[in-house]
Amino acid sequence: MTSSTARVTLRQLCHLGLPGPLVLPSLLPVLRQIVQADHAAFFYCDPRGSITNLYAERMLPPAVQARYHDRHNDAQFRALYLERVAARRPVSRRSVSPEERDQDYYRDVLQPLAVEHFLYAIVRSGAKVLGQLSLYRGGQSTGFSVQDEDLLQEVLHYLGEALAVPSPPLAVGVLERAVEEGLAVFDDAGRIIFSDQPWDRLIRLAEGNPITPATALHETLSLPQFVAAVLQAIEASPQAVHRTDTTWGSFAFRRHDLLGAEGTSARGLIVSRLSSEPLRLTEGAADLGLSPKQREVALLLAKGKSNPEIARELNITLNTASYHVKQVFARLGVHDRAAVGRALTEAGGRS
């Protein structure tokens, strides 16, 4: 995806009207196509600068986050965050200094996350400050530039529009397809003997409690209890669908019995993050290589809009709308509106 097409996708994602936490997992990878970065995070903060929740593409384990909070507290984060809020320019950057590499914070936090360069942005919706977006690069990359700052600042108003949408009561009806999965394997005593990297992050999102350094110590106790409860529920009713719905979306669980050498056995538990249909349609339109206008038309076709409705919504003539509809049909190799929706959904599910 080029930077220009990524901008179109970003704008479309931000205009879906979905709650910010549901959009973030799709939003951050697209944003990293506009401003090249290895990974990203968004920190929801209160007016005092304390982190109230966060979503990160890479997360420290709860025990490490708890040690970070004990050793470093969040006073430094709050002070620097409030400085950025008060600054004239909402975007700033920095790189790890030689002196910082000798500090515990670098060894405890930055090094495990492979962070050497930072690009920050304070995200607002009107006058309300929502929190801080952070983009990260590792030691193999160059530091962020003034041009990177400018690129990020150009799209901040879109981010503010998306992240200001509050989380409503559970919108289960539109969450139905797995787009990310994690696996853990348990012995007969219920102890984890293996877990992959997505598991550790997804299980924290599925539990649904706020993710902050201040509450990380509690997570070291609550997460094992949550997983044990899920396993118990699955064992009690193995044919039922087991899922949780949280601020971060909907998560489904399924168990697999594993047989090892010499008759040894273990249980596997897979957690799946489910994506909403509007997100999959938008991501699918981007992945299919349609032009910006064709993508807008394809999304409206997938929603069942007629040619006159498309013309009104895009402020174009009926003839122009009909032309774009024919182009979308030809590009996707389909012949009706329902097939457009299926093509976008299938492409979005593969991304």
pLDDT of res. 349: 58
- Quick one: pLDDT at residue 117? 98
Same domain, 296 and 207: no
CATH code of residue 217:
3.30.450
CA-CA-CA-CA torsion sign (226, 231, 237, 238): positive
Q: Is the pLDDT of residue 99 over 90?
A: yes
- Quick one: average pLDDT of 131-156? 96
**311/347: higher pLDDT:** 311
Q: Is residue 241 part of a domain?
A: yes
What is the reported pLDDT for 1?
62
Task: Tell me how far apart the alpha carbons of residues 329 and 307 are, in angstroms, rounded to a whole number.
Answer: 13
3-state class (DSSP) for residue 282: helix
Confidence band for 351, pLDDT divided at 50, 70 and 90 = low
More confident residue, 188 or 300: 300
CATH number, residue 28: 3.30.450.40
Number of structural domains the chain divides into = 3
- Whether residue 283 is contained in a domain is answered as no
244 and 130 together in one domain: no
Q: Is the pLDDT of residue 22 over 80?
A: yes
Q: Same structural domain for residues 37 and 117?
A: yes
Contact by Cβ (8 Å): 270, 183: yes
Provide the percentage of residues in the chain whose pLDDT is more than 70. Answer: 93
Whether the predicted pLDDT of 82 surpasses 80: yes
pLDDT value for 65: 84
Taking the C-alpha atoms of residue 117 and residue 138, their distance in angstroms, rounded to an integer, is 6
Specify the CATH number for the domain of residue 292. Answer: 1.10.10.10
pLDDT value at position 176?
60
Q: Is residue 243's pLDDT more than 70?
A: yes
Q: Which residue has the higher pLDDT, 19 or 261?
A: 19
242 and 179 assigned to the same domain:
yes
Which residue in 136, 145, 114, 132 sits closest to 39, CA to CA?
Answer: 136
Tell which of 222, 248, 275 closes a domain: 275
Query: Both 187 and 126 in a single domain?
Result: no
Q: What is the pLDDT of residue 174?
A: 47
What is the average per-residue pLDDT within 46-58?
Answer: 94
Helix (H) or strand (E) holding 270: strand 265-276
Q: For 291-310, b where at least 16 C-beta lie within 10 A, e where not — what string?
A: ebebbbbbbbbbbebebeeb
Residues 23 and 135: their CA atoms lie apart, in Å, by 17
Q: What is the structure's pLDDT at 70?
A: 67
> Is 280 a domain residue?
no
Among the ranges given (65-69, 98-102, 204-208), the one the predictor scored with the smallest mean pLDDT: 65-69
In the chain, the amino acid numbered 264 is: T
In terms of Cβ atoms closer than 10 Å to its own Cβ (0-12, 13-18, 19+), residue 222 is middle
Question: What is the rounded average pLDDT of the residues 72-79?
Answer: 78
Q: What would the pLDDT profile of 221-231 be if each residue is shown by its tens digit?
A: 999 999 999 99
Per-residue confidence (pLDDT) for residue 175, from 0 to 100: 46
pLDDT tens digit sequence for 152-182: 999 999 999 999 987 655 444 444 677 899 9
pLDDT in tens, 261-314: 666 677 889 999 988 778 878 888 888 878 888 888 988 888 888 999 999 988
Q: 190 is in which domain, residue-wise? A: 172-275
Over residues 14-34, the mean pLDDT reads 91
Q: What is the mean pLDDT of residues 250-269?
A: 79
In this structure, the number of other CB atoms found within 10 A of the CB of residue 169 comes to 6
Q: Is 314 found in the same domain as 268?
A: no
In the prediction, which pLDDT does 178 show?
79
The answer to whether position 303 is within a domain reads yes
Does residue 116 have a pLDDT over 90? yes
Which one-letter DSSP state was computed for residue 100? G
Identify whether residues 58 and 179 lie together within a single domain.
no
What pLDDT sits at residue 262?
Answer: 64
Mean pLDDT, the chain, integer: 88
**Is residue 281 assigned to a domain?**
no
